[in-house]
Amino acid sequence: MACHQRSASLPSIPHSTESKVEVELQGLQTRISSPSATIDTMCGGLRSLGDIYSSIEEIMSLPSNRVPLQRKMIEEELDRSLVLVDLCNAMQESLAELKVSIQDLQLALKRGDGAAVQIKTESFVRLAKKAQKPFKKITSGKATAQGCGAVRLLVEARDMAVCLLESASCLLLKQAGVASGSRWSLVSQRFQKKRVVCEAAQLQALEHGVADLENGVESLFRRLIQSRVSLLNILSS
Burial zone of 63 (CB within 10 Å; 0-12 exposed, 13-18 middle, 19+ buried) = exposed
CB atoms within 10 A of CB 71: 9
Q: In terms of residue numbers, what domain contains 56?
A: 38-236
Is residue 29 a part of any domain in this protein?
Answer: no
Is residue 79 a part of any domain in this protein?
Answer: yes
Give pLDDT tens digits along the chain (237 positions): 556 555 443 444 445 788 899 999 999 999 999 999 999 999 999 999 999 999 998 888 876 665 556 778 888 889 989 999 999 999 999 999 999 999 999 998 888 888 888 888 889 989 999 999 999 888 654 445 455 678 889 999 999 999 999 999 999 988 876 666 555 544 444 445 666 677 788 889 899 999 999 999 999 999 999 999 988 888 887
The half-sphere exposure of 197 on its side-chain side, counting CA atoms within 13 A, is 3
- Based on the structure, what is the number of domains in the chain? 1
Closest alpha carbon to 149 in 62, 226, 50: 62
Cα 226 from Cα 205, distance rounded (Å): 32
* Amino acid at position 198, single letter: C
Is residue 92 a part of any domain in this protein?
Answer: yes
Is residue 4 a part of any domain in this protein?
Answer: no
Is residue 69 a part of any domain in this protein?
Answer: yes
Is residue 116 a part of any domain in this protein?
Answer: yes
